[in-house]
Structure 1
Amino acid sequence: MQLAGSKPSAEAAIDADTAAEVVDARPGSRLMRPVEAVAAILLLVVIGLLLAGVVSRYVLSLPIIWVDEAASISFLWLAMLGSAIAIDRNEHLRLTLFLGMIPERGRAFVSTLALLIVATVILSLIVPAYVYVREESFLTSAALNISVGYRASAIVAGLFLMFAIAVLHAVRESTLANLVGAAAVILGLALLGWALSPTLLTLGYANILIFLVGVVAVCLLMGVPIAFCFALGTIAFIVFSTRVPLIVLVGRMDEGMSSLILLSVPIFVLLGCVLDATGMGRAIVNFMASLLGHVKAGMSYVLLGSLFLVSGISGSKVSDMATVAPALFPEMKRRGHKPREMIALLATGAAMADTVPPSIVLIVLGSVAGVSIAALFTSGFIIAMVLLLVLAVLARWKAAGEDMKDVRRAPLAVVRSTLLIAAPALLLPFLIRGAVGGGIATATEVSTIAVLYAIVVGIVLYGGISPRKFYAMLVETAALSGAILLILGTASAMAWALTQTGFANQLALFMTDLPGGWFTFMLVSAVVFMVLGCVLEGLPAIVLMAPIMFPIAARLGIHDVHYAMVIVTAMNIGLMAPPIGIGFYIACKIGNVSPDEAMGAIWPYLGALLVGLVIIAAVPALSTAYL
C-alpha cells in the first residue's frame, strides 16, 4: 500500500543530509525546490493570517474582515503546490496491493500506464481550468476588492506543475517501449469512447457503472492515485455520456477544496509533525505507562489510552501509531505479547481513536455534510470511549497468560515526575476539545492556537525543533495537505456527477423503503462504508458518499451526528480490515511485522470494534445525549 503521508510524521524531521540525498534522487528535485520553499512560506502565511484573525477578534475585539479571503487565496495555492510536491514525492494515496501481484515485466508497463493516465487527466483539465480562471477574473472579492482570478489561477499553475512532474517521472522511470505502448492504449480508449459516445448518451444509469464504477475500479487496481481515479472516471463520464462542459468539473473541484473549515487540515497535519518531533507524544505515553503499566494487561491499556490521548493532539492515525508503537512495543514483547497481537491492537486502537477531536475525518465530514464540527467533536469523544472500552475488555481477556513476575508498580515519585513532564502535552487535547465543543472558537481558530502552543511548549520544554527540521516539516505538511485536498476536490466533482444523473434520488427512494426502517438503513450504511473504507480510505469515501447518504438519513429521522458516528466508525473498521485495508498495512510497517503474520490475529479485535459499532448504531443517545 502507498498512502499519502504513510511515513510517520516524524520522518518529516529527518536530518538535513539524509533529506538532501532523498530530494536529489527524485526526478523533479531541482524544479521542485523553489516550489517547496513557496509552499512552506504559504503554510506559514495561512497560519499567520488565521492567528492575526484570532487575536484581532478575541483580544482586540476588532475583527479583520479581509483575513478569511486572504487565507482562502493562500490556502488554494498551498493545496495546488502541495499536490505537485506530492506527485514528485510519490505520496498521493493509491492502492498497490494488486499491482504487486503482476509479474515484474507487466508491472513496469502498468506503472508507466498509470503515470501517463495521471498526466492525461491533468492535461485534459488545463484548458477548462484556464477558461474557469478567465470567468472568475470578472468577479471581485468582497473584502480585498481584487479579482477572484488571482485565487483561481492557482488551479492552472498547479495543473501545469503536476503535468510537468508526471511527464518527467514517466520519462525517467519508463522504457521507450512502455511509454509508446501506454500512450497507444490511452489514445485507443479515448477514440473508442468518442466513437461510442452517441450510444453512451442513451444508456442512462448504465454510464454510472461504466465510468464512475468501472473506470475508477480498474484505475484503482492499476495503482493510479485515488484522486486521479476519481477525476478520470468523472471526466470520461462527462465527455462521453453527457454534453456538460468540463469547466463545471473544475468549478466543483474548486468548491470541494476551498471550504474555510478545511483551512484547519494542514494546520492539524503540522501539529502532528510537531508532536512527533518534540517528543510530546512520548511524554504522554511515559506517563500512562507509569500509571497503568503494573496491572494485568496494563501495557495494552497504556497503548489504547495513549492512542486516545495522542489522537486528541495530532488528528492523524499515522502520527498516533508512529508515536506510540516504538515507546511501548519493547516492553510489551518482554512481557510475552506476540508481535502480531501488538499490531492488531495498534491498528484497531488507531481506528478507535479516529473520532477523538481534532480528527481530520470529522472536520472534512462536517464540511461536506453540513454537520456542526463542535457537535461532532463532542460526540466523537464519547464514541471513542465506547470503542476503547470494548477493546480494553478484549485486551484483558487476551492477557490471561501475560508474564508479570518482574513487574512492579512505579513509585509515586516516578508517576509525579512523568505527570509533570507530560502535563503541558496532556493539556492540549482538552484545550482543543473544550474550545471547539464549547463553541468558544472554530476548529480552524483552535488549530492555529494549538500549533502555536505546541511549537512554543516544544521549544521551551521538550528540546525544540531546529530550523532545518522545521522547514522539512512544513514541506511534508504541504505535500500531505495537497494530496488530501486534491482527493476532496475530485471526489466532490464525482459526487456532483452522481447526483446530477438522478441516481441519488433513486437510491434515496430504495433505501427509504427498506424493511426494518431506520435501523436497517443504518446497518446497510455501515456495510457500505466498511467496504469503501477498505478500498478508498476515509476521506474520499466521506466526500463521495456523505452528500448522498445524509439526506436519506434525515428523511428517516436519524440525527445527523448519530449517523456520522456510525459511518465514521464503520469506515475505520474497513480501513484496518485485511487484505485490502490500508491502515492495517501501515500498522504492520510501523511495527515492523509481516502482514501475513498479523492478518490472522486482527480478526478478534475487529470483531470487538463491530460489537462497539452495533452498540453505537442501536443507542442514539450515546452520540446525541451530550450535545
Structure 2
Amino acid sequence: MAIDTPAEVIDARSGSRFMRPVEAVAAALLLVVVGLLLTGVFSRYVLALPIVWIDEAASISFLWLAMLGSAIAIDRNEHLRLTLFIGMVPERGRAFVSTLALMVVATVILALIWPAYVYVREESFLTSAALNISVGYRASAIVAGLALMFIIAVAHAVRESTVAHLVGAIVLIAILAGGAWLLKPVFMTLGYTNILIFLVFLVALCLAMGVPIAFCFGLGTLAFILFSTRVPLIVMVGRMDEGMSSLILLSVPIFVLLGCVLDATGMGRAIVNFMASMLGHVKAGMSYVLLGSLFLVSGISGSKVSDMATVAPALFPEMKRRGHKPKEMIALLATGAAMADTVPPSIVLIVLGSVAGVSIAALFTSGFIIAMVLLLVLAVLARWKASGENMEGVKRAPLRVVWSTLLIAGPALVLPFLIRGMVGGGVATATEVSTIAVLYAIIIGIVLYGGIRPAKFYSMLVETAALSGAILLILGTASAMAWALTQTGFANQLAVYMTDLPGGWFTFMLVSIVVFMVLGCVLEGLPAIVLMAPIMFPIAARLGIHDVHYSMVVVTAMNIGLMAPPIGIGFYIACKIGNVSPDEAMGAIWPYLGALLVGLLLIAAIPALSIAYL
C-alpha cells in the first residue's frame, strides 16, 4: 500500500521547465507576503503607526500565491490524494484509472473557468477600501490559476497516458455528464438523496480512484449544484474564494516556511540532542525523548510531517541499538505526531479558528495543555513497553554535555514558547507571530546554525508555495461543499436529530469522535474541519458545549483517525519516513492508538482540561 504525500513530505520534487517562471513568481509572492506582514508588524508595534493598506495588499498577494501554488502542486504531483484503493486495482486497469483521475481533475477545472471569469467580471465593479483599486485584480488570480492548472493537467494526461486510455476517459466522462444532465429533472425531485449521490458516493468514488482531495470535493459540489439545483456556478466560485481568503489563513504559508527553516538549519535536531542528553539514560528514555522532541518541535514547525522527518533520523539508530523494534518505533512516532498536533502553531487549529469562529489565542492555550495530557498517556504506555529495553552501557550524560546541548538548543527552544505566549497572551495575532517567528528563525539560523544556501532557500520558498496552494485549494473546495450541505437544510435536520440523542451532550461528543475519526482516516484534518465545522459546531453550541472544548475533541479525534491503518494517511507517511513496511508496523500501532483514545475520552469527559486555563 502506498500514499502520495504532499509537499510537506521529505524530499523536494522538481517540476517541469515550463513552470520555472511560475515558481519564481510564486516564490517572489511569498517573500512579498512576508515582507508586507513584517512591515505591518514593525509599523504597528514599533512606530505605533498602523498602515491601513497592508492587509489588502497582503490579501491580493496571498490569493495569487494560493492559485499559483496550486498549479505548481499539480505539476509536481503534490496534491494530497489517497492511493490505497488504486493500489489494489490490477496492473492492467491501473493505468486507465490514473488517466481517468487526471481527466476528472481537468474536467472540474474546465467547468469552473467560465464561472470564475464571470465572478471576476462582477468583482471588477467593486473598489477596495484602502488601496482604492478594482477588486478584480485580486479575483483574477482564480481565473489565471484555473487556466494554468487546466493546461498542466491536460499536459500530464497527454504525456503519461496512451491515446486509447485518454480517449476512453474523455468518452466515459462525457457519457456520465450527459446522462446526469438528462436526468436532471429526476435529481431535482430527490431532495436529500442528492447529498448521498453527489456529496457522498461521487466524492468517495473519486477518492478511491486517486483523484486529489481538493478536486474530489470540487467535482461533488459542481455536480450537486449543476444537476440538482438551479444555483449558478458563480456561487461555488465565490464560496471557494471565501474559503481561501480569510486573513487568518495568511499564517498558513508562513508557518509552513518556518517548518522548512527549522529543517534546513538543524534547529530541530538541536532540540532532539538536548532532550536526549537530559533523558536518554533512563528506562524508556529514548521513547520519552522522541515524544518530548515531537512536542517541542511541533511548537515551531506546525507540521506533522516536518516534525517526524526531523525527529526520526536523529533517534531511531540509538533506539534500535537499545532493542526497540522498528514497528514499535513507527507506532510511537506516528501517535506522537498525532499527540503534538494541538501544540501551537498548529495549522489545523488556525484553520479551525478561521472556519468555526473560535479564538485562536484560546485554541493555542488549550492545545498546549491537551497535548500534555496525550503526552502523558503515551509516556505511560511507552514505559510499560520498555521492560525489555537493553540499557547496557547507557550512562547519564555529563553535565557539561547537557549544558553544551542546552546552549545550542536554547535559541530554538525559545520559539514554541514565544509563539504560544504572544498569541495566547493577546500580544499579537497568529499571522503577526508567524512572521516574527520566521524572521527570528532565519536570523538565528544564519548566526548560530550555519545558515541556508540561497539555492536551498529558493527551493524552500517554492515548496512552501506548492504546499500552501494545495492546502488552500482543499479549503476552498471544502468550503463550497460545506455551503452546499448547509443550503439543503440537511444541517438543520441533523441538528434536530443530534440534539435529541439520549444521553445529552456526552452522547453527542461520542458521535462526534466517531465521525471525525472516520473523516480523519479518509480526508486528513484540514478538509474534514472545513467540511464539518459549519455543521457540527452550531449543534455543540446548542447543547452547551464550549467551542474550545469541542475543538480539542474533534482535532484529537481526527489525528487518531489520520494515524489509524489501513486508511489513515499519516500512518503511511510515518512508515515512509522510518523506512518500515506498513504491513509490519500495522499490528504494533493499535495499543498506542488505544492510549490516545483513552486520553481523548478523558478530554471529552472533563471540559476543565480544555477550558480551565482560558
TM-score bucket (shorter structure)? over 0.9
Answer yes or no: is the 8 Å Cα contact 2:24–2:462 preserved in 1.
yes
Partner of 1:4: 6
* Number of corresponding residues: 612
Summarize deviations over 1:34-88 as a string: whole Å, max 9, x none.
Answer: 0000000000000000000000000000000000000000000000000000000
Answer yes or no: is the 8 Å Cα contact 2:330–2:574 preserved in 1.
yes
Answer yes or no: is the 8 Å Cα contact 1:252–1:493 preserved in 2.
yes
Partner of 2:419: 432
Residue type at the aligned position of 2:544: G
- Counterpart mapping for 1:188-199 below 5 A: 188-199=175-186
How many Å separate the matches in 2 of 1:367 and 1:600?
A: 37
Partner of 1:578: 565
- Counterpart mapping for 1:213-362 below 5 A: 213-362=200-349
- Counterpart mapping for 1:94-173 below 5 A: 94-173=81-160
Report the aligned-residue RMSD.
0.6
Summarize deviations over 1:221-255 as a string: whole Å, max 9, x none.
Answer: 00000000000000000000000000000000000
Partner of 2:398: 411
Answer yes or no: is the 8 Å Cα contact 1:133–1:149 preserved in 2.
yes
Residue type at the aligned position of 1:602: I
Answer yes or no: is the 8 Å Cα contact 2:8–2:467 preserved in 1.
no
Q: How big is the shift at 1:30?
A: 2.2
Summarize deviations over 1:177-200 as a string: whole Å, max 9, x none.
Answer: 000000010000001101100010
Partner of 1:18: none
Among 483, 488, 492, the residue aligned to 2:479: 492
How many Å separate the matches in 1 of 2:224 and 2:253?
A: 31
- Counterpart mapping for 1:586-601 below 5 A: 586-601=573-588
Task: Return closer, same or farther for 1:426/1:272 CA change in 2, 3 Å cut-off.
Answer: same
Summarize deviations over 1:495-517 as a string: whole Å, max 9, x none.
Answer: 00000000000000000000000
- Counterpart mapping for 1:474-553 below 5 A: 474-553=461-540
Partner of 2:593: 606
How many Å separate the matches in 1 of 2:336 and 2:269?
A: 17
TM-score in terms of structure 2 length? 0.99
Answer yes or no: is the 8 Å Cα contact 1:4–1:484 preserved in 2.
no
2:71 is the counterpart of 1:84 = yes
2:474 is the counterpart of 1:472 = no
Residue type at the aligned position of 1:397: W
Partner of 1:15: none
Partner of 1:458: 445
How many Å separate the matches in 2 of 1:596 and 1:235?
A: 37
Among 414, 417, 430, the residue aligned to 1:443: 430
Deviating above 4 A after TM superposition, structure 1's stretches of 4 or more consecutive aligned residues are: none
**Unaligned segments of structure 1, at least 5 residues:** 13-21
Answer yes or no: is the 8 Å Cα contact 1:253–1:493 preserved in 2.
yes
TM-score in terms of structure 1 length? 0.97
How many Å separate the matches in 1 of 2:63 and 2:288?
A: 41
Q: How big is the shift at 1:3?
A: 2.5
Partner of 1:179: 166
Summarize deviations over 1:375-413 as a string: whole Å, max 9, x none.
Answer: 000000000000000000000000011011210000000
Answer yes or no: is the 8 Å Cα contact 1:6–1:586 preserved in 2.
no
Q: How big is the shift at 1:6?
A: 4.9
Partner of 1:17: none
2:27 is the counterpart of 1:40 = yes
> Tell me, what secondary structure is at the counterpart of 2:183?
helix
Residue type at the aligned position of 2:573: I
Answer yes or no: is the 8 Å Cα contact 1:518–1:558 preserved in 2.
yes
How many Å separate the matches in 1 of 2:65 and 2:392?
A: 54
Q: How big is the shift at 1:5?
A: 2.2
How many Å separate the matches in 2 of 1:166 and 1:194?
A: 25
2:375 is the counterpart of 1:373 = no
**Unaligned segments of structure 2, at least 5 residues:** none
Answer yes or no: is the 8 Å Cα contact 1:322–1:590 preserved in 2.
yes
> Tell me, what secondary structure is at the counterpart of 2:97?
helix
Q: How big is the shift at 1:31?
A: 1.7
Partner of 1:210: 197
Q: How big is the shift at 1:4?
A: 1.8
Residue type at the aligned position of 2:60: I
Answer yes or no: is the 8 Å Cα contact 2:294–2:308 preserved in 1.
yes
Partner of 1:16: none
Summarize deviations over 1:532-584 as a string: whole Å, max 9, x none.
Answer: 00000000000000010000000000000000000000000000000000000
2:546 is the counterpart of 1:559 = yes
